[in-house]
Structure formats: C-alpha cells, structure tokens
Structure 1
Amino acid sequence: MKKLVVELCMGSSCFARGNSQTLAALESYLQESGTADRVDLIGHLCMGDCSKGPNIRIADTTYQGLPSDEVIQLVVHELKEWEGIQ
C-alpha cells in the first residue's frame, strides 16, 4: 500500500521555529488516530528556504511557517484524499 509522505525540515532554524512541536504533534496524532501505518514521516537536515521556515512537505506540496495544528489539519485532509484514491 502506498503511503502519504510527510517530510519535515529538522535543520536548526526550522526545528527552533516550530518543527520540534510539529514533529511531536504529528507523532502523537498518527498514533492516537491509528493512521501511523499510512504515513511515512521523514526528517531532513535542511530543505532550503530557512528564512521562511519551518518548512514541511506533504505529498508533493511544500508549506512554510505553519503552526502544528494547521499541519495536522493538512495531514488529515490529505489522508482522506489518499483513502479516496486507494
């Protein structure tokens, strides 16, 4: 089964700007919702564009400067889209 790919920049700038909280929130959401087996959560040392971070890529779309609750909402939406395709 193909998984939804969620990539987080874990470089020092993005990590300090909120991706540390986003990572924790995503891991918690995926475990609690039972969707961890449908998502590949990948960390990168740097995704570029540090000044606009925190950077995150969901499927093939890159987002910048989002708080963790908005990232969760995007992942929920993308998972519903993926389920419709699968």
Structure 2
Amino acid sequence: MVTVEVCIGSACYVKGSNEVVTILQELIKEKGWEDQVNVKGAFCMQVCTQGLGLRVNGKQLLGVGLHNVKEVLLQEITAALA
C-alpha cells in the first residue's frame, strides 16, 4: 500500500492543495490504484516555501505545484508500487 499525504494547512490550501486532492483521486481512478493507494490529509509539513506539501510513503516531495503535480505523483506512485 502506498500512502500519499497532502498538506491541508492554510498556506498549501491557498496554493491549491484542494485541487491536488482532486487530481490525485482522478489519477488513482484512471490507473486502477484504488486498492493500492491511500490518500491522507496532513497538517503543515514546513515546506511552504518549496511548493505544496506532499509526501509519498514518508518521502517529502519538493518543488511541486499545480503545474507539475500530476506528473510528479504518477512518477512517485509508480516507483513506490514497483
């Protein structure tokens, strides 16, 4: 099981973390990962200046924004499932 944590703190929310959740849910459905990926909300990850707060299996992802989130999550989740 892969765990993806999305920061729902105020700074990340303003940057679009709610949209990230929607993108992530669509990606999971598109790839058929419903039984393999668990999505969780998390509070501040202290990376606000380096992009949205996202972790995959505890690995902090940096430099992620709405412009590249789908590609980054696809790469990270695929690698974690391998």
TM-score (norm 2): 0.77
Q: Which residue of 1 aligns with 2:36?
A: 38
The gaps in structure 1 that reach 5 residues or longer are none
The question of whether the paired residues in 2 share the 8 Å contact of 1:6 and 1:56 is answered with: yes
The runs of at least 4 consecutive aligned structure 1 residues that moved more than 3 Å come to none
- The correspondence of residues 15-30 of structure 1 with structure 2, limited to 5 A, is 15-30=13-28
Q: Which residue of 2 aligns with 1:12?
A: 10
Q: Tell me the alpha carbon deviations over residues 6-45 of structure 1, each in whole angstroms, 9 at most, x when there is no partner.
A: 1111101011112121111101111232112111111112
Task: Look up the match of 2:65.
Answer: 67
Gaps of 5+ in 2: none
Whole-angstrom distance in 1 between the partners of 2:56 and 2:40: 10
**2: CA distance between counterparts of 1:32 and 1:26?**
10
* CA distance, structure 2, for counterparts of residue 78 and residue 64 of structure 1: 12
AA of the residue aligned to 1:74: V
Decide whether aligned partners of structure 1 residues 21 and 47 sit closer, same or farther in structure 2, where only a CA change above 3 A counts.
same
Q: CA distance change for structure 1 residues 79 and 44 in 2, over 3 Å: closer, same or farther? A: closer
More helix by share: 1
SS across alignment from 2:45? coil
* RMSD (Å), alpha carbons: 2.0
Larger Rg, first or second structure (1 or 2): 1
Q: Greater shift after overlay, 20-29 or 53-62?
A: 53-62
